[in-house]
């Protein structure tokens, strides 16, 4: 595993799959927003649907519905752009560091972390599982708080031991961004 982690075929496939999923979901959300906006506007304009308050010049209920649709769309757009930025950071780390096997990464259920899943890395097999290597925060790209249980029994890590890095299952799959807890 001497070369950089992004050169590993499983890693590149997992990264491309996560990016494709995010872009597909963002495109679908955009299509649904535009389609519902156009549909409501056209049906209202032709008088096919009449909403209470549509006699007013300000749009009434239709304006409220379209504003809510816009709010929901912006929220989804924020989440998907955040996911794409996370994927970009993951790629930078994978292009700079090689994979190294670690004994495991343990989730701490007692701790709460708004940014992701609180974890503790075991960087070598000789380390006792109760000894702290420092608590970190791990986030998935598509599902931010999903924790694969298989990482408890062995994982791959690319990055700095005390800084930013990427955690993945052996084979370079299930990529998660890791950073120190704030």
Whole-model pTM? 0.80
| Residue ranges covered by each domain of the chain | 5-96, 100-180
- DSSP secondary structure string for all residues of 33-70: HHHHHHHHHHHHHTTSS--TTTTSTT-HHHHHHHHHHH
Does the pLDDT of residue 6 top 60, yes or no? yes
Per-residue model confidence as pLDDT tens digits over 91-125:
999 999 999 998 888 888 877 777 788 888 887 65
Q: How many helices (H) and strands (E) does the chain have?
A: 2, 7
- Give the percent of the chain with pLDDT over 70: 84
> ∠68-71-72 over CA atoms, to 5°?
90
**Range with lowest mean pLDDT among 43-52, 71-80, 138-147:** 43-52
């Amino acid at each position: 595993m001497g070369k950089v982690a992004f050169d590993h075929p499983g890693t590149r496939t997992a990264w491309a799959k996560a990016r494709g999923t995010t872009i597909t979901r963002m495109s679908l959300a955009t299509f649904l927003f535009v389609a519902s906006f156009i549909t409501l506007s056209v049906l209202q304009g032709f008088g096919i649907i009449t909403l209470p308050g549509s006699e007013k010049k300000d749009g009434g209920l239709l304006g409220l519905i379209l504003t809510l649709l816009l709010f929901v769309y912006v929220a989804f757009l924020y989440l998907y752009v955040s996911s794409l930025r996370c994927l970009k950071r993951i790629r930078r780390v994978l292009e700079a560091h090689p994979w190294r096997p670690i004994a495991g990464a343990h989730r701490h259920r007692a701790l709460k972390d708004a940014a992701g899943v609180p974890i503790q890395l075991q960087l070598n097999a000789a380390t006792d599982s109760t000894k702290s290597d420092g608590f970190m925060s791990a986030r998935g790209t598509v599902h931010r708080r999903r924790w694969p249980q298989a990482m408890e029994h062995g994982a791959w890590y690319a990055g700095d031991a005390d800084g930013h890095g990427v955690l993945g299952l052996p084979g370079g799959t299930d990529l998660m961004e890791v950073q120190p807890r704030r």
